[in-house]
Amino acid sequence: MTQPMKYERAIVIGGGITGMLAAKVLSTYYHQVLIIEKDELPDSPENRLGTPQAFHPHRMLPLGKQIVERLFPGYTKELLVMGGFNTMHQTSRFITKDGELTLTDTEETAVTRRAMLEWVLMQRMVKEERVQFLEKHEAISLQFKEGTNQVMGLIVKDRQVKPGSLHEMKADLVIDTSGRMSKLPKWLKDAGLTLPQTDELSVFLGYSTRYYQIPSGAPSLQSMVVVGQPDKQIPTGLFERVDHDLVAVLLSAAGGSHYPTTDADQFDSETAALTHPAIAEAITHLTPFTKPKGFRVPSCLRHHYEHMQDWPSGLLVMGDALCTLDPIHGQGMTKAALEAQTLHRMLKQAQKNERLSFEKDTLQQMQQTSELGWWLCAIADMAWDGVELKGETPIPHLTFVQEFLNRYVQYAIVTKQPKRLEAYHRMHSFLTEPREIINLEQLNDMIQADTSGETAEWWKQWDQKNDEGNRAFFHEAVPDFRLEHLLSFD
């Protein structure tokens, strides 16, 4: 943008998690923030049509929680008061084919169904003086200032009346947070713009979730993950305590050759066929609360709008509309929180330097928030037959990184080192650089610990035969994700 930024009105398309986090940040800078949401707002924490994924477990990672707490102080406590399950001091089991480790949560975290996470944010947002929710309003297209590449607002359909009336809405900034079904690619093409290639992870992911109630007198039950075996097409199972004495049981598999069942009678038998019977045993103490429900994700997409020379001014995109990650890793909302933090940082900078190319620089920075999540998802998911990565960002030495990480987890479990497993989880939570785990020193530890000599044998195919060559190899295989910069608030 080569003109001074105006901070009169911003419009956010979509009132999901990303939309509300973005609106909260914008409310510090803009006099008026409108959230355009096509759904009717629920009057209690209920799932709604516009977020069909909400039935499935939604875990907020520690980093996401920290950022949301900063924006909405007291958020966690509020969820706990509403019945959220507090994981503080709770243990959870991480079970693999090689054994298991128990981890203890040291932070106060409220695990709830997603509708409740969203509800608490929504209640806060409707009280914000500068923020206005326009429910039952659907963004239909972007509006450009004639003869320019500047977005000056939206055409919006008011769905409160049938068949719906169209209105123009002017804004100095429009942010698309309309999720995985975003129409932004079409809107940009309609405006005559050429889109860069999108990265696509054809994941053919299948989810099936069923809720159970914990009856009084049931033994105390730990949350757990039973890690799947892609080479044998065995799904991953998750058993997670949520709010109000409910447990979510989730089966998930990628690759498309087997989608977990949504048949109530078969759900128990598929659970029993996981790598370990722990979840099947635990649900014998519980009462079914819902039927199983499925969700399929054909592919995860990562748009590269930051490559567009002619990206319109007055427009940004965040959340699933920018990049979707495989939900089994539970990173989507944390990525959204990181993007909100990025938006805050960039708006603050723009206030100081008004001739900054705000939109392009911000898009560039937003893209960085997806990098680690995308890399980790691609590495994990491509272990399943049938999953393919297409696009402009290949992953160098993918097989090496996959096998290294499998061995690392196996090493942590077999040698009973919860700290190492925690580091692995911290990496998946965007708090630890992969280079802190995947490095030569770690490899040497793993080789020493493996008295069978199998790890040393495996390494021979990658060994560059000298220290310098090996360090260069690791350097190439494991990018620097610059987390320090990403995590900084200012």
Ligand X SMILES: Cc1cc2nc3c(=O)[nH]c(=O)nc-3n(C[C@H](O)[C@H](O)[C@H](O)COP(=O)(O)OP(=O)(O)OC[C@H]3O[C@@H](n4cnc5c(N)ncnc54)[C@H](O)[C@@H]3O)c2cc1C
**Shortest Cβ 35–ligand X spacing (Å):** 9
Q: Does 14 bind ligand X (CB under 6 A)?
A: yes
Residue with smaller CB distance to ligand X, 84 or 443: 84
Q: Does 207 bind ligand X (CB under 6 A)?
A: yes
**Shortest Cβ 385–ligand X spacing (Å):** 21
Q: Does 334 bind ligand X (CB under 6 A)?
A: yes
Among 172, 243, 306, 320, which residue interacts with ligand X (rule: CB under 6 A)? 320
Alpha carbon 139 to chain centroid, angstroms: 24
Only segment of 12-20, 270-278, 401-409, 437-445 that touches ligand X (CB under 6 A): 12-20
Q: CA–CA distance from 102 to each of 285, 374, 429 (Å)? A: 21, 27, 18
Q: Are 193 and 171 in contact (CB under 8 A)?
A: no
Tell the burial category of 294 from Cβ atoms under 10 Å away from its Cβ (0-12, 13-18, 19+): middle
Q: Does 290 bind ligand X (CB under 6 A)?
A: no
Distance between CA 252 and CA 89 in Å, rounded?
A: 27
Only segment of 299-307, 319-327, 394-402, 446-454 that touches ligand X (CB under 6 A): 319-327
User: How many binding residues for ligand X (CB under 6 A)?
Assistant: 38
Residue with smaller CB distance to ligand X, 66 or 177: 177
Among 242, 251, 333, 478, which residue interacts with ligand X (rule: CB under 6 A)? 333
Distance between CA 435 and CA 286 in Å, rounded?
A: 42
Only segment of 15-23, 68-76, 99-107, 381-389 that touches ligand X (CB under 6 A): 15-23
Distance between CA 346 and CA 362 in Å, rounded?
A: 6
The full length of the chain comes to: 490
**Shortest Cβ 36–ligand X spacing (Å):** 5
Q: Does 85 bind ligand X (CB under 6 A)?
A: no
Q: Does 179 bind ligand X (CB under 6 A)?
A: yes
The letter for the amino acid at 367 is Q
Chain positions 138 to 167 lying near ligand X, rule: CB under 6 A, are 138-139
Question: 3-class DSSP state for residue 84?
Answer: coil
Q: Taking the chain, what is the end-to-end CA distance rounded to the nearest angstrom?
A: 21
Go through 311-338 and write b for each residue having 16 or more CB atoms within 10 A of its CB, e for each that does not. Answer: bbbbbbbbbbbbbbbbbbbbbbbbbbbb
β partners of residue 356: none
Task: Provide CB contacts within 8 A for 443, sequence distance 6+.
Answer: 404, 459
Distance between CA 406 and CA 35 in Å, rounded?
A: 43
**Shortest Cβ 51–ligand X spacing (Å):** 5
Chain positions 351 to 410 lying near ligand X, rule: CB under 6 A, are none
Q: Which helix (H) or strand (E) holds 33?
A: strand 32-36
**Max alpha carbon distance in the chain (Å)?**
72
Residue with smaller CB distance to ligand X, 318 or 350: 318
Residue with smaller CB distance to ligand X, 94 or 408: 94
Q: Does 330 bind ligand X (CB under 6 A)?
A: yes
Among 18, 66, 365, 367, which residue interacts with ligand X (rule: CB under 6 A)? 18
Only segment of 101-109, 175-183, 187-195, 428-436 that touches ligand X (CB under 6 A): 175-183
> x/- contact string, 21-60, with ligand X (CB under 6 A)?
---------------xxxx----------xx-x--xxxxx
Q: CA–CA distance from 128 to each of 24, 38, 313, 343, 386 (Å)? A: 8, 20, 27, 19, 47
> x/- contact string, 53-72, with ligand X (CB under 6 A)?
x--xxxxx------------
Which residues in this chain contact ligand X in the complex, by CB under 6 A? 13-19, 36-39, 50-51, 53, 56-60, 138-139, 177-180, 207, 295, 297, 319-321, 327, 330-334, 336
